[in-house]
Structure 1
Amino acid sequence: MPTTQVNGISMHYEVGGDGPPLLLISGLGSSSIAWAVAAPRLREHFTVITVDNRGTGQTEVPAGPYAIDDLGDDTAALVESLGLGPVSAVGWSLGGSVLQSMLIRHGDVLSKAVLLNAFPSYTAVQHAWLDTGLVLRRSGVDPVSIGITGMPWVFTPRLLSDHATATAQAELSRLDPHPTTLEGFEAQAAGLRVYDSRAQLPTVSTPTLVLAGAEDVLTPVSQSVEMAELIPTAILQVLPRGGHAMLLEYPDDTLAAITAYLSGKTA
């Protein structure tokens, strides 16, 4: 599997598809496997670049904490090393924070950006959510049980009320050939919870779509509104259905919005 040296670490990536280059950046504790459903469909329109963020998948897990700017620098260096830039990029959750850092610090490697279920800074509720997740992981709780416990924060009652489907979704964690270690998760979490992009978002000049789900309780629409108001080049789109994991629960609507924006079919 392809890897390259960036900022002193070995970083894993994959490139596939045909069309304009599109970078996909995963969320907290997630490797590129988070895009397993979306990437094949996006490859029909784009040359898709998936990466394992520092601390996940087949990328190295150096000692933490990892500042979000470190992750942004890693990813920008990867784009430059591949010679594919400037690229469009989609950042989901923590990936949205990484993408904000890139927009602020490395705008030259980006042509368009989609901040998917993202946020500019942590709230008290998000700190409490993260504290709970860290306690469970440090206690050695089974990953499937951790997944089920976290589901109400990312899925809507439509999926949660179907226990067979919810259980099957949680069981997918057992299929990950390179699960994120506690050390990697903790190192990412430490940087994420202190990241605050708000003071610098007004400097962003890259066209940006802020894409949210109306039912997202983990990163509520108010946070997307805040980012869209701060970024001079941003437009805000709120889908009527879907929570934090709307890419998984409502993939058709979510991917249609992303593809339309990146293809220039929306304002």
Structure 2
Amino acid sequence: MVPATHYAKSGDVHIAYQVVGDGPIDLVLVHGWISHLEYQWEDPALARFLNRLASFSRLIVFDKRGTGLSDRVAESALPTLEMRMDDIRAVMDAAGSNRAVIFGISEGGPLSTLFAATYPGRTAALIMYGAYAKWIRTDDYPWGPTREQHEAAFNAYEKHWGTPIGLKTLAPSAANDERVRQWWAQFMRIAASPGAGITLYRMNVEVDIRAILPTIRVPTLILHRRGDRLQPCEGARYMAGQIPGAKFVELPGDDHMLWIGDADSLLAEIQEFLTGETPMLEADRVLATVLFIDVVQSTQRATEIGDSRWRDLVDNYHQLVSKEVARLGGRVVNTAGDGVFATFDGPARAI
């Protein structure tokens, strides 16, 4: 079920937000570059991630101005970090939250850090994932892309907005998954216009919150995947070294999208940080026997009897094989042409 969407007023702008769960901790999730409150629930992995957060908190999630269901603003007047910080405060007020954990993802990290420094009394803790203090390479910050690399990315995104562009960087482990590709392409189209998306991207590149980091005085958890292709892990280590008492957790994986890959380890770190309890992780690996069946000389046989007749035979064949696989406790994973790909819990049943 998609949670109800509400609106908070921040100045003259309406900010869309949702509240999920009723846990003892208020947790404000600050998305990255672009977002869409209702379409995010269409992705099973992202929906699962959000529901897990809501299982131990009262989760408050919102679309920043200029994206998703919040008011769109003129591209010539896109918001600064300070304006967006006020949007967080407005959403908290509307949701009846006096004090909350602020959880910033990617570009949401600098925004969350600014809020924690400005409103420490309303910030119970700060969590960042895949975040950065600065996103352009300089002599004293050698981990970001160069300005020339960013310009090439601006042009590519503008040319291919609304396609699966960027997934090889954002989620390499799922970049060839057609469902993920279609979801991401539509997500881009409904979350922001091409012009707004590129303008926000340009704004994010100019962010530099390094001077703010030593002023943070709330408990801080910084999570980062070791092989993140968008935001190098060195930048996260730098932030952890600048924020007094910050806890830094480096996790395996290459995906920048936090709900792709091993999301359970991320969730476990967040839950332990906020509640002091270490959750039991579900096993995500099993020992299985893989069976692949292929009909010998099927192409020759199809030519002899005709494609239409051959397709009917293959359909009947797939139905018979599926029944037999199920009878023996297996599962058909995929079919391609006359091939069948199935898994069993042991070799004897597969044979």
Give the TM interval when normalised to the shorter protein.
Answer: 0.7 to 0.9
Output the TM-score relative to the length of structure 1.
0.87
Contact 2:66 2:78 in 1 (8 A): no
Q: Any unmatched runs of 5+ in structure 1?
A: none
Q: Which residue of 1 aligns with 2:111?
A: 98
**1:56-95 alignment, distance < 5 Å:** 56-63=67-74, 64-95=77-108
1:119-147 deviation digits (Å, cap 9, x = unpaired): 001124164554334323433x352242x
Q: Secondary structure, in 3 states, of the residue corresponding to 1:170? A: helix
Bigger-Rg structure (1/2):
2
Please, what is the CA RMSD of the aligned residues?
A: 2.2
Q: Which residue of 2 aligns with 1:13?
A: 17
Identical positions, percent: 23
In the TM superposition, residue 23 of structure 1 has moved relative to its aligned partner by: 0.8
Q: Which residue of 2 aligns with 1:31?
A: 36
More displaced, 19-28 or 125-134? 125-134
In the TM superposition, residue 172 of structure 1 has moved relative to its aligned partner by: 0.5
> 2:151 aligned with 1:131, yes or no?
yes
> 2:57 aligned with 1:54, yes or no?
no
Task: Work out which structure has the larger RCO, using CA pairs closer than 8 Å and 6 or more positions apart in sequence.
Answer: 1
> 2:206 aligned with 1:194, yes or no?
yes
Q: Please give the alpha-carbon distance, in whole angstroms, between the structure 1 residues aligned to 2:205 and 2:161.
A: 24
Q: Which residue of 2 aligns with 1:144?
A: 163
Q: Choose the corresponding residue for 1:222, options 231, 234, 238.
A: 234
CA distance 1:36–1:175, change in 2 (3 Å): farther
Q: Please give the alpha-carbon distance, in whole angstroms, between the structure 2 residues aligned to 1:143 and 1:222.
A: 31
More displaced, 85-94 or 171-180? 171-180
Output the TM-score relative to the length of structure 2.
0.67
In the TM superposition, residue 188 of structure 1 has moved relative to its aligned partner by: 2.3
> 2:2 aligned with 1:4, yes or no?
no
Q: Please give the alpha-carbon distance, in whole angstroms, between the structure 1 residues aligned to 2:49 and 2:168.
A: 22
1:70-116 deviation digits (Å, cap 9, x = unpaired): 21221123213332121112110011121111112222221011110
Q: Which residue of 2 aligns with 1:155?
A: 171
CA distance 1:54–1:133, change in 2 (3 Å): farther
* Residues paired across the two proteins, number: 257
1:209-234 deviation digits (Å, cap 9, x = unpaired): 01000111211111011111111131
1:28-73 deviation digits (Å, cap 9, x = unpaired): 1223455534111211111111100111111012223322222122
Contact 2:110 2:131 in 1 (8 A): yes
Q: Secondary structure, in 3 states, of the residue corresponding to 2:101? A: strand
Q: Please give the alpha-carbon distance, in whole angstroms, between the structure 1 residues aligned to 2:146 and 2:51.
A: 31
